[in-house]
Structure formats: C-alpha cells, structure tokens
Structure 1
Amino acid sequence: MNEEQKITHFKEVMGNYPTGVTVITATAPDGSPVGMTVNSFASVSLDPMLILWSIDKRVSLYDIFTNAKKFAVHVLAGDQGELCALFASRGIDRFENCEWEMSEDGVPVIKGAAGVLHCSLHTTVGGGDHRIIIGEVKKIDNHRKDPLLYHRRKFNAIPDSFHE
C-alpha cells in the first residue's frame, strides 16, 4: 500500500468513527471574538479536570488559539448543524451570524449549545501537523440537550429511535 492509499484508508476509518462536534471560542489580542468548528475533542483527566482538542498548524487562527490563556468549548446541540457549518466556513464574520455574549471571564459564549466548558490553558503539545491544546475546565454550563454528531463526513442529530 502506497502512502496516498494509506492516507485514504486512514480518513475512511477515522470518518467511520462517530464523534461529537464542538465550536471552540477565544478572544483575539485585539479583543475580537474568534471561533472554529472542531471535532478532535476528548476528556483527559478528572483530577485536575482536563480536556484536549487539536488545531491544524495551517489554520489562520493557529497563533491566536495556541496563545490564548482562556477558551470555551461548546458541545453543539443536535439542532446546531448550521452553526457547525458557520464556524467551519471562511471569509465571513462568524459572530455576526449567531447569538453570543461575552462571558464574565472575557471569552465569547455561543447560545444554544448542549454544554459549554470554560477552560484555561493548561499546556500544548506538538502532534505532527497539528498542535494539541490541553485545557483545564474552570466552569461548566450543562444544558442537557442531545449533541450534534459527525459520522462519515455528515453532521446529524441523534435519531429519536436511539432514545427508545
């Protein structure tokens, strides 16, 4: 198997692994809100309470996120597919097109998420063409909604039959 085939197979296998979808937000040095859709998100530890997510080194927001001292992880709700697409798009003012507010600790928080983890930067670690950002959870907003899922390059809510 050549390298191109290996990459294709890797993407197929990883795409068949269903994940939740998040939007990560922070504040740029000039005070403006920034955010992006991320599905590379996981819990790390309970004591201290740590999470991780990764960012591609080629992303325009790379420097802002890797230097942000605080950020928020929004676990998107099943009805937030449009928000997922909005924060994955380029060339538009994402925050002009959604409802949000600045938190008391100066991080933009998007309304309607299933849950929000307010984090401070714990550390970052290199990981190939990505950087892994580990955050310590300082505050949790739990809205107890079903999450948005990503599977085989599609975004969907949990089907009602799953709840039966």
Structure 2
Amino acid sequence: MPNSAPHPDTPGGDGTERAAAAATCAAPQATDLRPFMAAFPSGVTVVTALDTGGLPRGMTCSSMTSVALDPPTLVVCLRTASPTLQALLEQGQFAVNLLHEQARATSDLFASGAPDRFDRVGWRLPLGASGPHLTSSAHAIADCTVVKTAAFGDHTAVFAQARRVSVHPTIRPLLYGLRRYAEWSAAASGPPPAALPLPPRPAPAEGAARVRS
C-alpha cells in the first residue's frame, strides 16, 4: 500500500503548515497605483513654505485639486516624511506655485531633494505671502492657510483655504503625464472636439395632451 500523508485534521497531520500556505495564497497583493495615476495628466505644482528658522522649503507636488469654492479650499498631498510638510504644519501656511510650460527644470529640481534648490531659481517673499513665490517659474500662485490634515499611508493630505491668488493669463501651464512633460501650447494646438449631436426629442406618450404654440 503506498504511503500517504495524514489528513491535516487528524492527529499528526500538518495542519499548521497547510493553514499557513492557505493564508499566503489568500493574502491580497499590493496594487501599484503609479501606472494608473501616470495615465491621468495634470498640471505641475511646487509647494513652498518657510520653516521655523526662516529657511525656504519646497517640493514638487502633482497631487493638488480644489475642494470647494466657498470657502475657497484646496488639498495637496505631500510625503509625510518631507521637511516641506513639517515646515508648513509648523507655520500653518504655505504657497502653491503652478509651473509654466518652460519650467521643467524647476519641476525636476524640486523633485530631486537638492539642498540648494532655492539658490538655483528665482523667488521672492512678498508682503503677506504664505510661502516663497517662484516668480521665474510659476504662472499662478495661491497663498494658503492650513485648515485640516489627514494622514494616510506614507502621505498626508493638507486641506487649506486660499487667502489670495495671482494668475498670469497669457502664460501657459506645464503638463505632466505618462512620466513625460508636455506644453499646454502644443496640447491645445489641435482642433477643438466636434460638437456632439443633440439626442432626438422623445415622442409624446400615447394619449398625452399636446400643447399648441
């Protein structure tokens, strides 16, 4: 009679190993969200703030969107371990710089973590600013006050109320998607989409009253 392994539920059965193997097979695999988000092109922002010592801090951030118009509120998602996040939480305020289409180098610089990044770009701190304004790289800037934060995983969402905004309407934004940059001028140079035909008006139901004009 051939040898056979004992049933895991019987004395001497290796139920522990079988249960461990089943748990391993059932464990969900972590989903890599990066390809999905790369397929969602967006503008490019640099979030800036001053730390308690008055030193400028900043990082490139592609996770930014509006939350409400009244009060004017937006949210940025920053890496929790970032010194920029620490600075804006300490000060309770920050600036959002929307980069123009010629500012690819600035985006790469503030994504690199280079300690001398503010020595390599033009910026200033106007009266009442919530953080450094990247005057040579931004086409729009919002000065914001922190309202609420929510930490999740390795990032922290910062909800903030925009106190004032400045926009240069003739300067075009920088775009980023599929791990590549694009210029708004080039993206908008194609023809506008064709107007969609209006759906046919439904016929009146049988027996319905007709209104004469």
TM-score using structure 2 length: 0.70
Give 2:110's match in structure 1, choosing from 60, 81, 87. Answer: 87
Largest Rg, 1 or 2: 2
1:72 and 2:95 are equivalent in the alignment: yes
**Deviation at residue 129 of structure 1 after TM alignment:** 1.8
Kindly, what percent of the aligned residue pairs are identical?
Answer: 27
Match of residue 59 from structure 1: 82
1:22 and 2:42 are equivalent in the alignment: no
1:20-47 Cα distance to aligned partner (Å, 9 max, x none) = 1100111110011111100000000001
| Aligned equivalents of 1:161, 1:97: Cα separation in 2 | 28
Question: Retained in 2: the 8 A contact 1:124–1:131?
Answer: yes
Structure 2: 5+ residue runs without aligned partners?
A: 1-26, 191-213
Give 1:147's match in structure 2, choosing from 165, 170, 173. Answer: 173
Structure 1: 5+ residue runs without aligned partners?
A: none
Give 1:46's match in structure 2, choosing from 69, 93, 104. Answer: 69
| Aligned equivalents of 2:87, 2:124: Cα separation in 1 | 19
Question: Retained in 2: the 8 A contact 1:15–1:152?
Answer: yes
Q: Which has the higher contact order (CA 8 A, sep 6+)?
A: 1
**Deviation at residue 161 of structure 1 after TM alignment:** 5.5
Give 1:114's match in structure 2, choosing from 139, 162, 165. Answer: 139
1:103-155 Cα distance to aligned partner (Å, 9 max, x none) = 21252111131100111111111222211001111111101221111101122
Question: Retained in 1: the 8 A contact 2:50–2:132?
Answer: yes
Q: Which residue identity does 1:49 align to in structure 2?
A: P
How many pairs were matched up?
161
| Aligned equivalents of 1:91, 1:15: Cα separation in 2 | 24
Question: Which 4+ residue blocks in structure 1 deviate beyond 3 angstroms?
Answer: none
| Aligned equivalents of 1:161, 1:155: Cα separation in 2 | 11
Q: Which residue identity does 1:79 align to in structure 2?
A: Q
Q: Do the aligned partners of residues 161 and 70 (structure 1) sit closer, same or farther apart at CA in structure 2, a change above 3 Å counting?
A: closer
More strand by share: 1
**Deviation at residue 90 of structure 1 after TM alignment:** 2.0
Q: Which residue identity does 2:127 align to in structure 1?
A: E
Question: Retained in 2: the 8 A contact 1:81–1:156?
Answer: no
| Aligned equivalents of 1:155, 1:17: Cα separation in 2 | 12
